[in-house]
Chain A
Amino acid sequence: MPKRVVVGAHYGWRDWLVQRVSAVVMALYTLLVLFLLLRSGGLDYDAWKATFGSELFRLASFVFMLSLLWHAWVGVRNIAMDYLKPVSLRLTFEVVVIVLLIGYIGWTIQVLWGGVAP
């Protein structure tokens, strides 16, 4: 048995795959937003509000944010594993990051569905 330390690692290919799939999702969403901005001809409050008025766009935005947050988790954990060597320090840092990211999920939901009711 290899000696395993509590670092939140999975010792596998899942993170590798998540990083790539989430990257593709974010790239596609970026192109979508770029397309919508070009079509509406720039930044304007009414057009912006109408874009977010679409349930489909809000769902796409939510998928984008989940991809972003998961992608961020994999990346930040990689950085932590490289530079934060004491396990206690790394674990503390990772817990703070996880709590922060979960908070961001809540904030995302609040932004997307909290204030859009007419």
Chain B
Amino acid sequence: MAALDRPAVKARPVYLNLFAIRQPLPAIVSILHRISGALLFLIGIPLLLWVVQRSLGSPDAWAQMRATLAAPLAKLVLIVLAWAYFHHFIAGIRHLMMDLHWGMDLKSARQSSAVTIVLAVLLTLGVAVKLW
């Protein structure tokens, strides 16, 4: 009986320190879903509107907008936002699948979490390669 060998009182955390708890993969996907959503709201929406507005202005405005977005810092922002879009998109599809009770058991939930993280990163790398 291995359980009896353990001390009766173990050192347990007395408060929830998020950085001391090892988060399971679905929890990481969940917080990244939130962070990516916040990024898309704060930067994504105004940038999208600005880009489309400039792009439809005139050939000059189009060229100017493309030159602005070609700056290294702008490319970095675009890559971060691309990741945010991919992650939010895939995690959202995962959410919808779970609403339909697909992949609800622990094993599938962990697998789909891993797929979400990896796929979003791979797609972002693809965008990054294309941008640079």
Given the interface pairs A52-B56, A68-B45, A69-B45, the reply to whether A23 lies near B92 with Cβ below 8 Å is yes
Q: Specify the chain A residue showing the minimal Cβ separation from B85.
A: A30
Q: A104, B45: Cβ atoms under 8 Å? A: yes
Contacts between the two chains (Cβ within 8 Å), count: 50
Instruction: Specify the chain A residue showing the minimal Cβ separation from B33.
Output: A75
Shortest B48–chain A CB gap in Å is 8
Q: Is B49 an interface residue (CB 8 A)?
A: yes
Main SS of chain B's interface residues?
Answer: helix
Closest CB-CB distance, B66 to chain A, in whole Å? Answer: 8
**Chain A interface helix/strand/loop/mixed:** helix
The answer to the question of A111 belonging to the interface, with a C-beta cut-off of 8 Å to chain B, is yes
The 6 closest A-B pairs by CB, nearest first: A111-B53, A45-B62, A72-B41, A75-B37, A23-B92, A107-B49
A3 within 8 A of B: no
Residues of chain A whose beta carbon lies under 8 Å from any beta carbon of chain B = 20, 23-24, 27, 30, 45, 48-49, 52, 68-69, 72, 75-76, 79, 104, 107-108, 110-111, 115-116
B96 within 8 A of A: yes
Complex Cα–Cα for A110 and B54 (A): 12
Check A72 against B56 for contact (C-beta < 8 Å): no
Task: Count chain B residues whose beta carbon lies closer than 8 angstroms to a beta carbon of A.
Answer: 21
Measured CA separation A103–B55 after assembly (Å): 20
- CB-based nearest A residue for B35: A79
Contact B96 A24 (CB under 8 A): yes
